[in-house]
Structure formats: C-alpha cells, structure tokens
Chain A
C-alpha cells in the first residue's frame, strides 16, 4: 500500500537521538487514580469553560464540570466519580507558573460512569455532531489542543481531498502515539472513518515515521480490514522518512500530499485537514462509546528507571505519574512534551492535562546546560535546517536589535518554534527564545496600540461632545434671552400666559435627546473587555502580564551583550 504513495520532502529538519526504545518495551498501563484530581477548566485553545459544579457536589465519571464558552472553547469533564472539594485557582502546567481555575475532586474509588450512550452521528446534522464533540471535550491531542469540532468542517467546497492522520510523532522520547497505534489501531481507524464522513474526504492518509515499524504494521492491518469492509481502499498507511519535525502538521501534509499550507490559512481551503491519531481515537470513544475525553496516553520518559506509557486521568499530578517510573536521584526538572519543543514545568505537582503527551524527567546529565552563547557567524546552519524555509539568523539579528518590523518582514510569524535552528547552532544561541521574545513584544505592542487607539478615539469623542455641548448651551442661552425678552414683554401685557412656549418645549426635547445620545455613546466606548471580569479572568490577565515581564526579564541578559 505504502509503496504506491508518492512522497514529497520538506526543507531542513534534523535527526536528533530519538530515545524512544525505553518507553515502548512495555504495553500501555493504566495509571492509578490519585487521591486528589486537580482538573483545570481551561485545557484547550480558546475561551476558558465556565464551571458547572460547586464545592461539596458529587460528580460522576464523565460528568461535565465545565461548559464550553464562546465560539472557540471545549468542555471539561470529571475524570472519575467523587466529590468536588474546591473550585479554586491552582498552579497550571505552564512554564510561567501561572494559576488558573481548577475543579478539585476527591475520588470516591467507585469510578462510577455517567449513563453512557453512543451518539448516532449519521442521524444527526453536522452541526449537532460538532456540538456533541465540543461538549464531549474532544481536542487535538498532538499537543496543540485546538477544539476538534472546529476542524471537522469541510470548508468552502463542502468536501476534502485528503484527511491526514498524524502518527509521525517526531519528537524524541515521546511514544504515546506509537503505542496507541500498536495497541488500538482499529479504534483509531473507526474514529478516522467518522472524521472522513464528516469532512467528505476522498482519501485518508496515515503518516507514520518509518522508525515505528510495529505501529505501521498494526495500522496497515487495521486499514486492510476497514478498506475490505468499505470496499473503496480509501485508507492508506504511509511510512514517512524519520526526520524531525516530520510530525509538524504542515510538514506532514507537505510530505504526504505536496501541498504547502501557508501560515495563517486554513488547510481545508487546500483540500486537506490533519488530525493526530490520538484525536481520532478520542472521537471514536466519544461517538461510539459515548465517553467524553477524560484521559489520554502519556509517555513518562527521560531520567527514569522504567520509562513507560500510561493511560492517565486528566488532573493526575505529574508527581504521582513520575513516581511510578522510578525517577533517578539526580532528576532536577520536569518537562511537558519532548526535548525539542517541550515546556519546563514550574513544579512536579502540576496536573496532567489534555496537552500532556509526555512527562519528561530531566537532569543535568541528560540535558546539560548549554555552553556560553557566542556571536552569530552567519554560517547558515539554521537556514539549512529550518522546515519553514526561514532565514533564522536574520530573524535573530533583528529580534535581538529589537527591530521587530524587520523581524516580521523576515516572516517571524511563520516560525513554528520547532527548535531545529537552536539545535544545530554552533554559536549555541538560544534562537527560539529570541523569537518567542520578539513575538511577545510584537503582541504587546499591538495590544498597547489598540489601547492607545481606543484612548485617542475616546479623547476625540470628548472634544466633539464638549464642542457640541458648548453650541447647545449657546443655543439654549440665546433661546433663554429671546424668551426672557418676550416674557418681559408678555408679562407687561399678560401676566397669566403659560411660561413654556411650544417652541421651547421642542428645544428642550432636542437637548434631552442629545444628552441621551451622548450617554449611550459614552456607554458604547466603555472598555467592555476589562469590566465585569470573573476572578479567573482577572487572574489570567495578571498572569499574562507577569509572563510578559518574565520574558522581558529573561531576554535582558541576551540583549545586554550588545556591544
């Protein structure tokens, strides 16, 4: 099957040591339920869900505890049955150490499911199915956690050429997709069949790096069965050359179809959509078993005695998970994700969330601190390996000099932060840090500019209003004077004539209307984004500010080296 597939290359890429064997020797194990689950409400891209439970409430396994809020959001569920002990701010699995609203559940040990019912997606409209998946909390499990229901939309043409399933898993150490494909290939493809129907996709291409022959074989066997049943040979498993970052969605789409989806555009406009294999599995669970997304496969690897993959309930502290794997005594950090793109955790008690594909235990020996940074010698190694065809050293140059406009001209925002450039740099420059810094500075400036624009508009409106009020006052005064004169004349002639003339009445109404207009307009320009915030939103705003300050702080030593 795979021999027939024409493959395309992508520019650049690197071949780091993969370290994948250690965690693939044993099958997936179920991680024990911890004594306390801390389930963050905000586990996907988009708006944070609203909490649906209160402390003291009993919840069942799979019960919705956070409902999707807004157009881009995804629901969150209780991972097991038990009692909600708190809905409070807890430390998140995020480098900055920010806290966010979490539902803390004390499991009752009974692991009691809600009433499970499969969803008949064939009888439902596509919108209903999408809403169902949103409420089932299904998000992209490759690490980006984008709400899946939003991607299950065939776009302008109403159909797609190709549905790509991403099983490439190019990051070193991570094997959660590998073992999932080895052990649950049928279920993954059942999910893929549902996706294919929803997207009206012509073919399904499963891209797997060729360093995972067992996964390729398992998926091929499952694909044969599905193809035989459907009779249209639509699902093809393709072994792609092992080269980081072949598992980047855009890179994999390029390798399998030759299509390059530009930054900021929808892949569906190019007739292709890409999902992680774990997401396909989650769709199968949600639709065919009625189970919302409450757990995922997580690789625990790195500086541990027994690296392994676990089925982990969301909310399980990483600490508990690491303890299962005999961490070595010199372990000094926990990274979520792989060594190329992973994030340093602020502490090891942070919970496993939907984005947690790997809990990587680090040590000084495994990930030695980089040697001192040298000046860039423009050797161009970074450009050779950049999978986005960028000129990383130019972006570095301008980011470092804070010439952000030029950095953007060199397509800074096309950078996928894969880390290839920093990986090969002979001057050991933490290039990706510079890009993150530049991006966050640009974002900050855009926000500030928006705020300034708003302030200027407010100010201009005030001037306008004052001018108008002045005119109205003058008109009023003129009217008054005129009326006074009239009145005086009238008083002489006729003392009991009504004081208010019809003319005056109309003027008053006009003024009242003007004032009303001013008032409503004033309300309109009120900064609605920053009022009536919930405590969590306020906390998030504060956290974002803190993160920005931290990034600036981090960037300072690099910037001070300037001559």
Chain B
C-alpha cells in the first residue's frame, strides 16, 4: 500500500554516485599519463578500505548492508581521497585517511546524508596536519616508472629521487623562504615544476576534471552555481592581486590550473550533503571557499587550502541556507502582480 505519486522517475542515489565516478575518469586517465599508475593503486586501496569500513560501520549500526553498500557514496569519498592524497603516499596514510573519512566523518555523524563535513576533506585536513611532509611529496612529472612508485607506497622508506614538491608548494616555498628578491616570474621561469599556465602536468589533469565537470552539469547532477562561483571568485581575487603586485602574487591561471582547484570546483565543493542548497546560498558558499582557498594558499603554511576552506564553509552552510531561502510561490511580490 502506498500513496501518490504512484510512479516515479527512474533515478537512484546509486546512479548519481556512479555518474560522479564516471565523471572522474578523464582526469584520472590524464593523471596516470603524467604521474604514473601509482594513483590507480591508491584508488584501489582507498576503495577496498572504504567498502570494508562502510560494511563494518553499517553492521555495527544495524543498517541493511547491501542497500547502503551499493549506493556508491563510499566509493566517491574513497576516490576523492585517492586523488587528493599524493599518489606515492605510503599505503597506511591512505588507509588511515579513508578510515577517518568513513568511520568518523561519515558514520559517527549518522551516515549517508547526515555528515556536516565533507568526509574526504576531513581526511585530507587531518593527514596534512599529522603528516605534512608525506602529504607534500609528489612524484616528479614524467617519472612514471611503476616499480619505484609501488615501492614508495608499500616500502618502508620514501624514495626522494622520484619525488618533488607540488607547484603550489614550490612557489610558496620559493617566495616565502628564498631571498627577498624572488619574484613570481622568476620562480615560475626557473623550475621544471611549472607548465604553461599552471603546474606542469597538473594543468592537463585539471582540464580532465573540467571535462568531467561539464558532464556532471549536462547530467544535471550538479548545478552551475557552485563551480561558477568558485572559479570566478578564485579568478577575480588572484587576478586582482596579481595586477596589484605581479612580483608577489601569482595570476589566476596558475591558481585555477594547479592543485585541487578544478577537482574542488566540480567534485568537492559541490558535495550536496555538507554544502548549501539554495541557489544564492550555493553562490555564497562556493565563493567563500574560493576566497579562503586563495588566502590559505597565499599566506598559509599548507601546500593547498581547499580542504580547510571547504571545512570552514561547511560550518557556515546551514546559516547561509537559512538566510538565503528563495521566496515561495506568491510571496515574491506581496501585491502578486506580474513581475
């Protein structure tokens, strides 16, 4: 016995999550091309850990196992962790990260749909605070030999020969710690880390994520508000400061095409559970993340600022939603006349 409506549009949480995973594929493919297959190992590792942790937590909470395990949400979290962590991070770093995300950030808050914080970003923030150096070592672009990477993940010691700092990290370190005469142009011109518009290799991975984001928009899984507000704000603020002092502030193309900006814009900021839901709220929420990201990247001590920015805005999301409720039918204009 059920009530109207008696027929429903074929859609499910599972299909939403699977399409998000599908949208990540172009970015992952380019990632493998530039940085080697290690990321695939991390994705596998994270996925297995996530599913195991999810199953254990569901069992502990007395929830139907198959129904929730199949929803794909744990896999999305796992993949985002694998893609934001360094691909040559030791296996236990990824495992702890995923456990943090699934057990603490997701299930202890009530499971699917209940978490106030983005689980993947909780994992990232925790790990970068706990293991800053391990979280900053990236394989050198083009150094795609699989065996050394495998050893780095499962070996006991890190292979310094194959690692290098991320472009964001390199630029920040150079500007902050080198002599006072260092300029953005000087740093960017003298280092193999940097590419044409962003980080070398990174810019192409970002393009891959952008492609996936367009697919999500086309599938109507995300709306334009968050990616647009995030990218536009990051562009404007970094562009404004680069115009003000190009020697100290790097321009917008660098910000948009390095680090987690593009992945963040379409896949992280857009997490519906922990973000804003009203149209205006989405704009404010994403713009806030962009602003904080730029501040942390420029003045902070961490290689990327997206995780902290997302968590900070997660806290503000309910409040933003409350103050940005769209007017209800007939309430827009008290007179009710034509708009």
Contacts and interface: CB of A to CB of B under 8 A. Distances in A.
Contact of A411 (B112, B277, B328, B339): B328
B169 interface: no
Interface in A357-415: 362, 366-372, 374-381, 383-384, 387-391, 393-394, 410-411, 414
Contact of A343 (B4, B16, B325): B4
Interface residues of A, number: 68
A414 B3 contact: no
Interface in B99-143: 110-114
B333 A260 contact: yes
Interface string B1-38: 11111111101110110000000000000000000000
B112 A377 contact: yes
Contact of A380 (B5, B13, B277): B277
A379 B110 CA distance: 17
A423 B8 contact: yes
A265 interface: yes
Which of A250, A368, A375, A389 has the most chain B CB within a 10 Å cutoff?
A375
A85 interface: no
Contact of B8 (A95, A391, A393, A422): A422
Contact of A367 (B6, B61, B71, B330): B6
A263 interface: yes
Contacts of B327: 389
Main secondary structure of the interface of A (DSSP, over half): loop
A258 interface: yes
Interface string A200-235: 000000000000000000000000000000000000
A383 B277 CA distance: 9
Nearest to A342: B4
B4 A388 contact: no
Interface residues of B, number: 44
B157 interface: no
B333 A371 contact: no
Contacts of A380: 223, 272, 277
A428 interface: yes
A563 B113 CA distance: 12
B11 A426 contact: yes
Interface string A330-358: 00000101011111100000000000000
Contacts of A432: 3-5
Contacts of B185: none
B155 interface: no
Nearest to A248: B329
Interface in B211-231: 221, 223
Given A260-B333, A374-B67, A341 B328 contact: no
Given A16-B7, A258-B338, A377-B272, A414 B328 contact: yes
Contact of B110 (A388, A433, A436, A563): A563
Contact of A261 (B4, B272, B336): B336
A344 B1 contact: yes
A265 to B, nearest CB: 7
B330 A424 contact: no
A461 interface: no
B330 A8 contact: no
B181 interface: no
Nearest to A11: B329
B194 to A, nearest CB: 38
> Which of A260, A340, A367, A370 is most buried by chain B, counting CB atoms within 10 A of its CB?
A260
A414 B113 contact: no
A95 B336 contact: no
A14 interface: yes
A423 B3 CA distance: 12
B114 A436 contact: no
A430 interface: yes
A24 to B, nearest CB: 20
Interface string B289-314: 00000000000000000000000000
Contacts of B112: 374-375, 377
Contacts of B223: 380, 384
A371 B336 contact: no
B329 A260 contact: yes
B273 interface: yes
Contacts of A10: 329
A442 interface: no
A258 to B, nearest CB: 3
Nearest to A416: B329
A178 B280 CA distance: 40
A259 interface: yes
A376 B113 contact: yes
A311 interface: no
Contact of A259 (B3, B67, B338): B338
Contacts of A378: 113, 272-273, 277
Contact of A393 (B2, B64, B110, B277): B277
B176 interface: no
Contacts of A436: 3
22 contacts: A11-B329, A14-B9, A17-B7, A259-B336, A259-B338, A260-B336, A261-B336, A262-B331, A263-B330, A340-B4, A344-B4, A367-B7, A377-B16, A380-B272, A389-B327, A411-B331, A414-B328, A423-B5, A423-B8, A426-B15, A427-B12, A427-B113
- The 3 A-B pairs of least Cβ separation, nearest first, read A262-B330, A258-B338, A419-B5
Interface of A: 8, 10-11, 14, 16-17, 95, 172, 250, 254, 257-263, 265, 270, 335, 337, 339-344, 362, 366-372, 374-381, 383-384, 387-391, 393-394, 410-411, 414, 419, 422-428, 430, 432-433, 436, 563
Given A379-B16, A389-B329, 16 more contacts: A95-B3, A262-B331, A270-B336, A335-B6, A339-B6, A374-B12, A375-B112, A375-B114, A378-B272, A379-B272, A380-B277, A394-B277, A422-B5, A426-B15, A427-B12, A436-B3
